[in-house]
Chains A and B, each alone.
Chain A
């Protein structure tokens, strides 16, 4: 199946709270991933300004030469985005599922501080399982 290269979660102010790399050649160090996340946050906001019609909620999909970037923004402003191979299907379902996992393993964790980097082991385990398992399971959602 088509590959997911990496995924990011950013909080409502644009700060990076999770960055996971699943085998891209261009793995970034912490500083770069922080910069890239903030840059994406700003681009997402600017794209709403340039909309020709009312009601724009920001970029959902960015298609580049070597990758696609799918973004999901929750109602609270938390953004989940994933970098994958061009043409990968069902990324929206994956992002929504990721949001569910986030709500269950991170937000319901009493030791987690809001808007801070995620350090919840169970979350990362279930995330890796979701990424690796067959797409068919995600289709049913």
Chain B
């Protein structure tokens, strides 16, 4: 996982290769489970209220990471299920697909989790998620008025993110 290689926001983002994929929604969590950002573009079905939805999403990811670390067929020495894993420790998943959506996931070494829910036919979105993380670093983290650990309300970040995600579609 290359996080220390490209520290600048450009060069140009990877060209969208998957045609016709519409992003449904995006979540960004920090390491404590606080939802820093939730944005939806196309979500006809809301099963739960917002708070419960965020908690459920975070819980699902936590458990899936625990599951993949335990199920990893290439390593013999594993911890027990349910033990919180450090970012980067143990095998982690990067996406899962159902018949109605595809969820792409990326966790940074600092514990920031970026989740993008798209159409099921979408390709590998890891590079897109890295670019979104770069946007987050440039517009949010480097913003002196932003308090870490609170939901993001930076206008520029929202605009840039919106523009970028629409360009994937």
- Whole-angstrom distance between the Cβ of B156 and the nearest chain A Cβ: 26
- Whole-angstrom distance between the Cβ of A84 and the nearest chain B Cβ: 9
| Beta-carbon contact of A36 and B67 below 8 Å | yes
| Beta-carbon contact of A67 and B91 below 8 Å | yes
* Residue B24 CB within 8 A of the other chain: yes
| Beta-carbon contact of A40 and B67 below 8 Å | yes
Interface SS, A side: mixed
* Residue B98 CB within 8 A of the other chain: yes
- Inter-chain contacts of B60 with A (CB < 8 A): 43, 46-47, 50
Residue contacts A-B, CB under 8 angstroms, 25 given: A6-B73, A25-B73, A25-B76, A28-B70, A36-B81, A39-B67, A46-B60, A47-B60, A50-B47, A50-B60, A50-B117, A52-B40, A52-B42, A53-B100, A55-B99, A56-B99, A56-B101, A57-B99, A59-B97, A62-B96, A63-B94, A63-B95, A64-B68, A66-B72, A67-B68
Please give the residue numbers on chain B whose beta carbons come within 8 Å of chain A beta carbons, in ascending order.
Answer: 24-25, 40, 42-45, 47-48, 53, 56-57, 59-60, 63-64, 66-68, 70-76, 78, 81, 91-101, 103, 117
Please give the residue numbers on chain A whose beta carbons come within 8 Å of chain B beta carbons, in ascending order.
Answer: 5-6, 24-26, 28, 32, 35-36, 39-40, 42-43, 46-67, 69, 83
